[in-house]
Amino acid sequence: MKEEMRQKFIEILGNNRVLFDEPMSQHTTFRIGGPADVFAMPENYEQIREVLRLCREEKLPFFVLGNGSNLLVSDSGYRGVIIQMDRNMEEIRVEGEEIHACAGALLSSVAVAARNASLTGFEFAGGIPGTIGGAAVMNAGAYGGELKDVLKEVTVMTRKGEILTIPAEKMEMGYRTSIIKTAGYLVLEAVISLKKGDEEAIRATMKDLSERRTEKQPLDYPSAGSTFKRPEGYFAGKLIMDSGLRGYRAGGAQVSEKHCGFVINAGGATAEDVRTLMEHVIEVVREKYGVTLEPEVKFLGDFNGR
């Protein structure tokens, strides 16, 4: 990237809130990914708006990053601008039976805030390794709960810098999708509507779910969580296991032996390792069961035209 363009980002964000040629392996739960041209860390709405304006004017592609928990970045990195909404915008406010959470707030932190305020309904999200922003985009869910069940409204910024507040009933939330995803909005804040409950009961539920995750999921290895979407009428992990792929490896990527729905970085995995492994899994499961698995993980960057 030309020095002139670098200076424009520095003018908007300051020296301490923008990085260049930043390794994305430092910002994804897979611990995989080459360098991003620009890694922007805005701290307020105006800086976000100005970064979007610059991207629009200079025709620079951009990607909004939360916790990097559902993402595979290519080994060659990303020729564009990463806008991180994680550590810079994580305020959580409890107001009565509502929780107002900025886009960068971790779901685990929101769950703890709800528990401490004796508010029930958000226990399911306590172990999901993502942010409120990412959860709103993908309608995150686990253990029978989904964000749409407790969402009141989301405040977003359009690609032109306009701020909108969208009520939950107009969010078009489905399985791992929402209007935010289809329209390309940036999440700024979400309001979660919960109910009064018993703190000890909430604590017990969260403890139980945490123990179940620890028992069943390969949390001791880098991964992007569930690798494939749940096919209608099936479970991806069981199809993969029944196809004889438990422990299957491609380079440093491996189908988890603990939970076949997870592809893990077993050590030194590249993005191409993960992509190759996923393609093999999809092919084997399709041949054996006639079911085509779809990736839940988002791919960012160049994957050799595949």
Q: What is the pLDDT along the chain (306 residues), one digit of tens a residue?
A: 789 999 999 999 999 999 999 999 999 999 999 999 999 999 999 999 999 999 999 999 999 998 999 999 999 999 999 999 867 789 999 999 999 999 999 999 999 999 999 999 999 999 998 899 999 999 999 988 999 999 999 999 999 999 999 999 999 999 889 999 999 999 999 999 999 999 999 999 999 999 999 999 999 999 999 999 999 999 999 999 999 999 999 999 999 999 999 999 999 999 999 999 999 999 999 999 999 999 999 999 999 755
Residue 73: closest CA among 117, 39, 116, 42: 39
The residue among 225, 293, 290, 280 whose CA lies nearest residue 256 is 225
Return the pLDDT at 86. 64
State yes or no: is 226 an active-site residue.
yes
| Nearest Cα to Cα of residue 135 among 67, 219, 83, 80 | 67
17, 49, 115, 176: the active-site residue: 176
Burial class (CB in 10 A: 0-12, 13-18, 19+), 253: buried
* Exposure string over 156-168, b if 16+ CB within 10 A, otherwise e: bbeeebeeeebeb
Rounded distance between C-alpha atoms, residue 37 and residue 32, angstroms: 16
Bridge-partner residues for 165, per DSSP? 155
CA atoms within 13 A on the CB side of 266: 17
Query: Which candidate in 50, 123, 153, 296 is catalytic?
Result: 296
A 10 A CB-CB count for 5 gives 15
Residues 6+ apart with CB under 8 A from 40: 9, 13, 17, 18, 51, 81, 82, 83, 84
Beta sheet of 92-95, edge-to-edge order: 92-95, 98-102, 186-193, 151-157, 163-167
For the question of residue 210 being annotated catalytic, the response is: no
- Asked if residue 120 lies in contact with residue 194, where contact means CB atoms within 8 angstroms, the answer is yes
Element (H, E) at 114: helix 107-116
* Cα 195 from Cα 11, distance rounded (Å): 45
As given in the structure block, the two tokens for residue 84 are 């991180």
- Exactly one of 74, 223, 226, 256 is catalytic; which is it? 226
Report the alpha-carbon distance of residue 286 to residue 273 in Å, rounded: 20
